């Protein structure tokens, strides 16, 4: 069977110089807005995409073309004799525009969970140097976002604890010094110092007397409705230590009963032995959590999705250029087969399985 591939005499990849160094043009196609200052790179062909440039006032210039490809990344699910592919974590992170995702409230928890898996499992040191620098840059941007929004401070502290433990474990990994390039670890130490400086400078102040109403001024019914919309049991435990009224509301059976209904199916709930007297829903929740675990899709407002037609990772709210939309023949075949298949959600742990870590 003939092997069809690109001609070996092709000129190779196109590279663009950015503020972070040289990068492949095909990788930056999905993140053009991040490099808006690089406005001197334009394609001569009108059919091709041009980079978006901005003026000093922050407005788009007249000869710029408003064109942006949604962040997406094609991956190789299975290698065959005819198709041999390799999934690079660094390229996937850039093409999916994770650096901008940390500033989106819907995708923030997803990025935090991904960084926690990489730092907690000490997989960061097994990555190439470029991927290590990129992930530390993401963590620094995440710290900036937390400092600006004054939210998710606990998530940042947990990541810093894991990063500090990883750095201490690698400090004497090889004859009293880290394993790898000294220049690379010097760059990492400077990045870690900047992240710690950002985290230590975060100061959350109580609103002044002119800001009304405050949380403790709200009626009991409003505070109960707020607690009923919390999906993490750890947040309920933390809220109960705020003041006595919050503690009394967090101990109500309705709050824990609805938390049980949110995370577990009726079949899972019925699998536990019934109590003789009144049901303690907080105890039931923790028993089910230890037995089945929590719903992973419920922990994130948005997750990555895998297109079943073009094998492409993308953010569902942004979409992606799919073969089902671009090829009329393929669209007709899908209609004959019963219609397009829905995308498959990809949690952080499943995302890392696409790469050799």
Question: What is the full per-residue pLDDT of the chain (357 aa) written as tens digits?
Answer: 454 555 555 566 777 777 667 777 767 666 644 444 334 444 434 433 333 333 334 444 434 444 567 888 888 877 666 666 678 888 889 889 898 889 998 999 999 999 999 888 766 777 888 888 888 999 999 999 999 998 889 899 999 999 988 888 887 777 667 777 888 888 889 999 999 999 999 988 887 888 888 888 899 999 999 999 988 898 899 899 888 999 999 999 999 999 999 999 999 999 988 876 678 999 999 999 999 988 877 778 889 999 888 888 999 888 888 777 777 777 777 777 777 778 888 999 899 888 876
Cβ–Cβ < 8 Å for 49, 67: yes
Element (H, E) at 256: helix 253-263
| 59 lies in some domain | no
Cβ–Cβ < 8 Å for 296, 290: no
Question: Distance between CA atoms of 348 and 221, rounded to whole angstroms?
Answer: 36
Q: What is the 3-state secondary structure (H, E, C) of 118-172?
A: HHHCCCHHHCCHHHHHHHHHHHHHHHHHHHHHCCCHHHHHHHHHHHHHHHHHHHC
Pairing label, strands 344-346, 304-306: antiparallel
Backbone angles phi, psi at 18, to 5 degrees: -120, 180
Q: What is the pTM of this model?
A: 0.76
Q: Which tokens belong to 42?
A: 């334009």
| 265 lies in some domain | yes
| 251 lies in some domain | yes
Q: How many domains does the chain have?
A: 1
| 19 lies in some domain | no
Which residue shows structure tokens 């707020």? 226
| 255 lies in some domain | yes
Question: Distance between CA atoms of 315 and 223, rounded to whole angstroms?
Answer: 33
| 239 lies in some domain | yes
Residue 15 exposed, middle or buried by CB count within 10 Å (0-12, 13-18, 19+): middle
Range of the structural domain that residue 233 is part of: 218-298
| 12 lies in some domain | no
């Amino acid at each position: 069977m003939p092997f069809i591939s690109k001609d070996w005499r092709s000129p190779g990849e196109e590279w663009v110089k950015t503020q972070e160094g040289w990068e492949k043009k095909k990788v930056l196609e999905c993140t053009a807005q991040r490099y808006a200052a690089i406005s001197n790179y334009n394609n001569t062909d009108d059919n091709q995409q041009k980079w978006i440039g901005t003026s000093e006032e922050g407005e788009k210039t007249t000869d710029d073309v408003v064109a942006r490809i949604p962040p997406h990344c094609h991956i190789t699910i299975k290698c065959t004799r005819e198709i041999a592919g390799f999934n690079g974590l660094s390229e996937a992170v850039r093409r999916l525009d994770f650096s901008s995702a940390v500033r989106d409230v819907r995708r923030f928890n997803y990025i935090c969970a991904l960084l926690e898996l990489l730092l907690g499992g000490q997989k960061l040191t097994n990555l190439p140097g470029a991927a290590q620098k990129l992930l530390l840059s993401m963590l620094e941007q995440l710290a900036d976002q937390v400092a600006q929004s004054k939210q998710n401070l606990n998530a940042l502290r947990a990541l810093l604890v894991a990063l500090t433990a990883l750095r201490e474990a690698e400090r004497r990994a090889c004859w009293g010094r880290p394993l790898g390039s000294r220049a690379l670890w010097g760059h990492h130490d400077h990045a870690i110092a900047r992240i710690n400086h950002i985290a230590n400078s975060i100061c959350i102040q109580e609103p002044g007397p002119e800001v009304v109403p405050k949380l403790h001024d709200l009626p009991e019914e409003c505070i109960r409705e707020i607690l009923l919309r919390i999906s993490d049991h750890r947040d309920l435990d933390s809220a109960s230590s705020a003041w006595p009224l919050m503690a009394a509301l967090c101990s109500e059976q309705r709050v824990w009963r609805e938390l049980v209904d949110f995370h577990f199916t009726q079949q899972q709930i019925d699998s536990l032995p019934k109590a003789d007297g009144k049901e303690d829903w907080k105890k039931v929740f923790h028993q089910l959590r230890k037995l089945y675990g929590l719903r992973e899709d419920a922990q994130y407002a948005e997750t990555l999705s895998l297109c079943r037609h073009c094998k492409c990772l993308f953010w569902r709210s942004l979409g992606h250029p799919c073969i089902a939309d671009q090829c009329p023949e393929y669209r007709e075949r899908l209609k004959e087969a019963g219609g397009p298949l829905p995308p498959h959600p990809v949690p952080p742990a499943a995302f890392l399985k696409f790469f050799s870590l």
